[in-house]
Amino acid sequence: MSQHVSHSMPPPGHALDETHALHEAYATEEAPTQALPTGWRRAVFGVETALCRVVEYLAAALVLAEITVLFVGVVKRYALHSPIVWSDELASVLFIWLAMFGAVLALQRDSHMRMTALVSMASPRVRSVLETLALAAPLVFLMAVLHPAIEYAEDEMFVTLPALDVPNTWKAAALPIGIGLMALVSFLKLLRAANPKQVAVVCVCLVLAVALGHVASPWLKTLGNYNLLIFLVGLVAASVFAGVPIAFSFGLATVGYLTFTTTTPLAVVVGRMDEGMSHLILLSVPLFVFLGLLIEMTGMARALVGFLASLLGHVRGGLSYVLIGAMYLVSGISGSKAADMAAVTPVLFPEMVKRGAKKGDLVALLAATGAQTETIPPSLVLLTIGSVTGVSIAALFTGGLLPALVLGLALCLLVRYRYRNDDLSNVKRVSARDILWSAGIALPAIALPFVIRGAVMEGIATATEVSTIGIIYSVVVGLLVYRQFEWSRVVPMMISTAALSGAILLIIGAATGMAWALTQSGFSQNLAKVMSGLPGGAATFMVVSILAFIILGSVLEGIPSIVLFGPLLFPIARQMGIHEVHYAMVVILAMGIGLFAPPFGVGYYCATAIGDVNPDEGMKPIVGYMLVLLIALAVVAAVPWISIGFLP
């Protein structure tokens, strides 16, 4: 993005790294700045940089190819009435390569999502060891699955893609190549680490842990499902809180569980990862991420916020209402909360500070609006729910608008109370003529969410393809209407899109493998019995789900939580008579509250970094906002019509 955003360091105990990864992908189009190594490490760094430079351009080309293939498919089918039968198949092949190359870039940029609450509290020496572990642990997982990935790709030689009439190895080969490149990058990063002795000690400890697992394997196999607690709970928790990236924590736990307690070949894990990352609905994830970057670059977000400010800027707390409204509207465009916050903050915060607003209040409201708008299409969480549970994307897009509006109105009521004594004597009311002028300027930006939703509802494009319509629309508006389009930023934006998408999709793939292991162990059936047997029926189930997803949202973030527990809990909700769209809205909003609620919610620290505010300043004012959001969430949970009243 064009504006510079300072990354203020949160105090110890905060999940900084995931915040940095989320924000860095949007706030800049370059890799995070690192201190240049010296001596022989410079040569290692040079090899790593050259390798990743090649991957960057391949990833950017794949993003462009995805946009082109999907958009041409829409035009041929809807406008020319001659559909391309192989477009979706080709797009899915390109997509898995994009996901793997993006995961390589995310590893090189330290952008894989991770939780560092305990790491930040540790002493410098312990913190250094844990940071080394965060580099070495992924390498263990990658080396464990590299050969199985090669075997999986070879086996897919006997499967033919029906439309393209080529072996599925063309697609499956992305996995061993991506895994191999990630392993090489991880090794190079370890090689140039600051303390070789420390690296050696950590690596020896990991090797000994693997050897201990093999020695204890006969005993572990006698424990049955207690191994789930050891590996899929204990090892995951230990890895996540030690700062190992979430995707690799999931992968290590799944590989350890299957290797030491079962006879299942690891090629099955690779197959489940492929299945999780290859879902057709997920094709839109990188395209919506790129769309979020486009709306900022073209000035659409600034025009939209400017119109809302002219409309409400003269009332008490008016710019706070503008912030709530802008986040609601922009969320319908970008699909990503980090992009939303980065788009509206530089436009609104300076003027709000001039009017006497405290920065802590502003960042608290910004985080609250992030939680409020999690259900607004095309939210990446909505797309993920659709991919892992089979719920209609069109129904989720329709059902998500009103629940977010209910939470937004609740925030507006609190804003009205907090700013009831504002002094507006120096605030000049904007004339009706100027309001109409700013409305005209903002009209193309205001229209974009309706263009996206209308294209899906009218059958012009699928939920997978509609992001390409938004991209083409934004390019045309940027070039012809706002006359603001920096061609030099397009390739870096595509590279950042690939990196963030790779980080997200690797989590989905690893979590899909873990979810499969849970299902095969019989855990899902046991969970269903426990949840369905809770006293109070559907009401108790809903309350337990809300509490569980608030906790999961603060620790794991929304997408991995949904991939892990969505396939287990949605069937139970249906069994209890809860509409699946209603249940989806409730759990998404619950995860949003957890994601943006301190002390562990990483979204809160993303908001503080974007707003350049010390996290301590927002701790007190955000309490009121979170309480209001919880009350509004209870209303949404108690009144299903809010979520399903407008479904066809």
Q: pLDDT digits over 370-408, tens only? A: 888 888 887 778 888 888 888 888 888 889 889 999 999
**Judgement on whether residues 174 and 265 belong to the same structural domain of the protein:** yes
**Judgement on whether residues 52 and 199 belong to the same structural domain of the protein:** yes
pLDDT over threshold 80, residue 149 = yes
Domain boundary among 219, 243, 278: 278
In a domain, 16, yes or no: no
* More confident: 320 or 137: 137
**Is residue 6 very low, low, confident or very high in pLDDT (cuts 50, 70, 90)?**
very low
User: 468-491: per-residue pLDDT in tens?
Assistant: 888 899 899 989 888 888 888 999
Closest CA to 224 of 512, 422, 521: 521
Residue 13 has a pLDDT of: 32
**Is residue 635 very low, low, confident or very high in pLDDT (cuts 50, 70, 90)?**
very high
pLDDT over threshold 80, residue 37 = no
Residue 338 has a pLDDT of: 66
* More confident: 422 or 409: 409
pLDDT over threshold 80, residue 113 = no
**Judgement on whether residues 328 and 476 belong to the same structural domain of the protein:** yes
Backbone angles phi, psi at 567, to 5 degrees: -60, -20
**Judgement on whether residues 255 and 288 belong to the same structural domain of the protein:** no
pLDDT over threshold 70, residue 102 = yes
Provide the 3-class DSSP secondary structure of residue 403: helix
Between the ranges 223-227, 258-262, 320-324, where is the mean pLDDT highest? 258-262
Residue 103 has a pLDDT of: 94
Between the ranges 347-361, 394-408, 588-602, where is the mean pLDDT highest? 394-408
Residue 463 has a pLDDT of: 66
* More confident: 408 or 22: 408
Question: Per-residue pLDDT averaged across 128-143, rounded?
Answer: 90
Residue 336 has a pLDDT of: 60
pLDDT over threshold 60, residue 4 = no
In a domain, 76, yes or no: yes
In a domain, 536, yes or no: yes
**Is residue 343 very low, low, confident or very high in pLDDT (cuts 50, 70, 90)?**
low
**Judgement on whether residues 127 and 185 belong to the same structural domain of the protein:** yes
Total Cβ atoms within 10 A of residue 416: 14
Residue 447 has a pLDDT of: 85
In a domain, 23, yes or no: no
pLDDT over threshold 80, residue 329 = no
Provide the 3-class DSSP secondary structure of residue 161: strand
Closest CA to 199 of 50, 33, 44: 44
Residue 314 has a pLDDT of: 66
* More confident: 345 or 211: 211
In a domain, 496, yes or no: no
pLDDT over threshold 70, residue 14 = no
Residue 16 has a pLDDT of: 33
Cα 375 to Cα 49: distance, rounded to the nearest angstrom: 38
Percentage of the residues of the chain whose pLDDT score is greater than 90: 23
**Judgement on whether residues 235 and 292 belong to the same structural domain of the protein:** no
pTM (two decimals): 0.76
In a domain, 72, yes or no: yes
Residue 459 has a pLDDT of: 76
Question: Per-residue pLDDT averaged across 293-304, rounded?
Answer: 81
pLDDT over threshold 60, residue 440 = yes
**Judgement on whether residues 248 and 349 belong to the same structural domain of the protein:** no
Domain boundary among 227, 260, 278: 278
* More confident: 582 or 240: 582
In a domain, 160, yes or no: yes
Cα 343 to Cα 335: distance, rounded to the nearest angstrom: 12
pLDDT over threshold 60, residue 10 = no
In a domain, 353, yes or no: yes
**Judgement on whether residues 308 and 252 belong to the same structural domain of the protein:** no
pLDDT over threshold 80, residue 257 = yes
**Judgement on whether residues 338 and 364 belong to the same structural domain of the protein:** yes
Looking at the 3D structure of the chain, how many domains does it have? 2
**Is residue 7 very low, low, confident or very high in pLDDT (cuts 50, 70, 90)?**
very low
Provide the 3-class DSSP secondary structure of residue 430: coil
Residue 422 has a pLDDT of: 65
**Judgement on whether residues 272 and 286 belong to the same structural domain of the protein:** no
What is 434-479 written as a DSSP string? HHHHHHHHHHHHHHHHHHHHHHHHTTSS-TTTHHHHHHHHHHHIII
Residue 614 has a pLDDT of: 73
Range of the domain at 195: 37-278
**Judgement on whether residues 350 and 270 belong to the same structural domain of the protein:** no
Closest CA to 135 of 183, 101, 197, 99: 183
Tokens of 246: 């979430």
Between the ranges 138-142, 412-416, 549-553, 570-574, where is the mean pLDDT highest? 138-142
* More confident: 557 or 449: 449
**Judgement on whether residues 219 and 293 belong to the same structural domain of the protein:** no
Domain boundary among 246, 278, 310: 278
> Sign of the C-alpha dihedral, residues 513, 515, 518, 522?
negative
User: 160-212: per-residue pLDDT in tens?
Assistant: 888 888 999 999 999 999 999 999 999 999 888 767 888 888 888 899 999 99
